[in-house]
Amino acid sequence: MLTVRIHGRGGQGVVTAAELLSTAAFADGKHALAFPSFGSERMGAPVMAFCRIDTQPIRTREAVTHPDVLIVQDPTLLHQVELFAGLSPDGYVLINSTFSLDELGIGEFLRSIPSDHVCVIPASDIGVKHMKRPIANTPLLGAFAAMTGVIALVSVQSAMRQKFTGSLGEANAAAAKDGYDYVLTCAVDERGDKHHARAN
Amino acid sequence: MFSHVRWMKGATNTMRAQIEGSQAVAEAVVLCRPEVIAAYPISPQTHIVERLSRMVKQGDAGRCQYLNVESEFGALSVLIGASATGARTYTATTSQGLLFMAEAVYNAAGLGLPIVMTIANRAVGAPINIWNDHSDSMALRDAGWIQLYAETNQEAADLHIQAFRLAEELSCPVMVCMDGYILTHAYEPIDLPDQSAVDSFLPPFSPVQVLDPSEPISIGAMVGPEAFTEVKYLAHRQHVRALTLLPEIAGAFEQHFHRGSGDLYRAYRMTDADTVVIALGSVIGTIKDAVDGLRDEGIAVGCVKIGCYRPFPAMQLRAVLEGISRVIIVEKDLAVGIGGIVSADVRMALNGLPIPVHTVIAGLGGRSISAESLKQVVRDACAEHLSEPYFLDLNLRVVDEELARRHEQRRAGPLAEQLIRAVNTIGTKVV
């Protein structure tokens, strides 16, 4: 089983990200269970959402305390809540930011995790490029597909076209592709340098 | 069915999709051809009634009428009237909303009206808390409604189809209880049957009493001491008929839809089980994982899900539990001043048998119940190290600090605000 925890703020599509991840896994023929943990149900309040993906039916309903994958949609949360609690030592970390890990002040902290398991991606910039708004969740899901290889990009895109019809679905699918490509192109660079690249 | 969701061919007569529990329940309710829905939105029930109102507005719910009322009390009052005229009726609520409609809840049962209501289980304030536990439906467990509890969203959807049939055969209202957020907001694969399959399982509503201007009668007479006991006795007799009828309906459902759902109780790994964990609702999934883990350690443990809590299947549970060494009740509620609510009923069911019953209060106000904590509870119970009632994952440091502070200071201030300061967070970390 793969466990994913997504952190962000109310209004940023954190819950939708977990939903899309589960729909993509379903499209891939896997079992998936996604659910949120709301804060106080208001814009800007910290929000978490969880997704479990498995080849077997999923029974457990407990919150994800030991994520294999951590997705951080809002970097302002990095030092506010216990974001990295329970992260598996060989887990994956995806952070939406234009700064490097060291600039974010977590380079040393994440040193123990394999370098190709950590990626900072300018997801909000990608969102602006495709949707004229700093929507970070769909580029991050594309990046998730590239980094983990657990779900095919086409399944992620199909989940987005299903959720958002017409041009909005296409824009999200294109943003996911950019997120996917970003991870693949910067994967070989040394950590610290790769994170300055802009979306386009 | 929603156009934007990708449906795949499921088992016979079903379509399978990855959808939210609330959406699945709304779809299942519409498949039951309700005629009047009245509801007032409240988290975490909102997604169910939003979906239903949209389906009615778009003409996807036949001749159903949807009334957006001014309160929960209004919602159920509308349905009492509508049901009395012979309409199939539905509503959904939770927490403070259920308490606000409490007077009408008793009336619907007392009048024998087969209304179906979803409870998206949530804690009851104060302190205000929007997250899941069973305090709300437990508060009204003795109002005369049948109470069914769903383990999964598949079961939540299926239970609604069974609930209308059960309610209308007994002329008794039914609450379908599903865990707020944990189920209502979870996306998982769900099989939904097609309309013709539901139509052949659930016949049109044929009421036993109807308000009809052409044949006037009155419903809701005042009853004095000379007959009140007899009315209540007969209502009780009728209510407990569900203990016979529900297994028949669950059996018919399985035959019809090729999927087991509902029933009075369900047993898991009970062969040679020595210790049995009993619970209601979605935590059963996590308990099953814990049971498997403990079995690997060599501990002979099983679990029993109570699917129907009212009427209470006391004889059936007694039969399945006879001969085991201990029972652990994991309950998402607290009867302040005594402890467990479900535990008291199970103790009554086991009266005279030498089986200790341990009460574990867990998951209050949305606290996550982990398989690890559950496994430790079972180990502790087996070693007879469990205090009574046991509060799972209680933060003793915070409790002791607060007790000491209140000991020193009479004007210690409000408890809730003090504890928020002590843990320095609200709903933002996994606990």
pLDDT of residue B1: 47
* B10, pLDDT greater than 80: no
- Starting at the edge strand found earlier in the chain, the sheet holding B36-39 runs B65-68, B36-39, B89-93, B116-121, B174-179, B146-149, B308-310
Name the residue range of residue A73's domain: 2-96+114-190
Which range in A77-81, A94-98, A107-111, A194-198 is most confidently predicted, on average pLDDT? Answer: A94-98
pLDDT of residue B430: 60
* A80, pLDDT greater than 50: yes
pLDDT of residue A42: 72
Convert the pLDDT of each residue in A2-22 to its tens digit: 999 999 998 999 999 999 999
Q: CA-to-CA distance for A141 and A134, rounded, in angstroms?
A: 15
pLDDT of residue A195: 41
Convert the pLDDT of each residue in B183-220 to its tens digit: 999 999 999 999 999 999 999 999 999 999 999 999 99
Mean pLDDT for A39-55 is 86
User: Is A196 contained in some domain?
Assistant: no
Convert the pLDDT of each residue in B331-351 to its tens digit: 999 999 999 999 999 999 999
User: Is A37 contained in some domain?
Assistant: yes
Question: Residue A57 is part of a domain; what is its CATH number?
Answer: 3.40.920.10
Cβ contact B177:B148 at 8 Å: yes
Domains and CATH numbers, chain B: 8-257 (3.40.50.970), 265-391 (3.40.50.920)
* A190, pLDDT greater than 50: no
User: Is A84 contained in some domain?
Assistant: yes
pLDDT of residue A45: 85
Search chain B and give the residue with CA nearest A7. B428
| Average predicted confidence (pLDDT) for chain B | 95
Are B186 and A85 inside 8 Å of each other by CB? no
**For B339, which DSSP code?**
B
Please tell me the distance in Å from A155's CA to the nearest CA on chain B.
Answer: 12
Q: Band of the pLDDT at A200, cuts 50, 70, 90? A: very low
The partner residues of A138 in beta bridges, in order of sequence, read none
* A192, pLDDT greater than 50: no
Please tell me the distance in Å from B366's CA to the nearest CA on chain A.
Answer: 9
pLDDT of residue B9: 66
Give the residue from A44, A61, A195, A25 showing the smallest Cα distance to A119. Answer: A195
Q: Among the residues of chain A, which ranges form H helices?
A: 14-27, 123-131, 137-148, 153-163, 166-186
Instruction: Say if B233 is an interface residue toward chain A (CB within 8 Å).
Output: no
User: Is A108 contained in some domain?
Assistant: no
Convert the pLDDT of each residue in A100-140 to its tens digit: 999 999 988 888 899 889 999 999 999 999 999 999 999 99
User: Is A150 contained in some domain?
Assistant: yes
Q: Is the peptide bond before B126 cis (omega within 30 degrees of 0)?
A: yes
Convert the pLDDT of each residue in B364-421 to its tens digit: 999 999 999 999 999 999 999 999 999 999 999 999 999 999 999 999 899 999 998 8
Write down the residue that tokens 């029993």 correspond to.
B304
Between B6 and B240, name the one with better pLDDT: B240
Q: CA-to-CA distance for A118 and A115, rounded, in angstroms?
A: 6
Helix (H/G/I), strand (E/B), else coil: B29: helix
Search chain B and give the residue with CA nearest A26. B18
Mean pLDDT for B242-257 is 98
**For B132, which DSSP code?**
-
Percent of chain B predicted with pLDDT > 90 = 93
Q: CA-to-CA distance for B197 and B193, rounded, in angstroms?
A: 6
- Give the pairing of strands A118-121 and A92-96: parallel
Q: Band of the pLDDT at A44, cuts 50, 70, 90? A: confident
Please tell me the distance in Å from A135's CA to the nearest CA on chain B.
Answer: 21
Residues 177-216 of B with CB under 8 A from A: 179, 181-182, 185-189
Q: Which positions ≥6 away from B8 have C-beta within 8 Å?
A: B15, B16, B17
Give Cα separations from B312 to A14, B318, B343, B345 (angstroms).
Answer: 40, 11, 12, 8
Q: Band of the pLDDT at A193, cuts 50, 70, 90? A: very low
User: Is A42 contained in some domain?
Assistant: yes
pLDDT of residue A62: 95
Q: Band of the pLDDT at A187, cuts 50, 70, 90? A: low
Report the domain count for chain A.
1
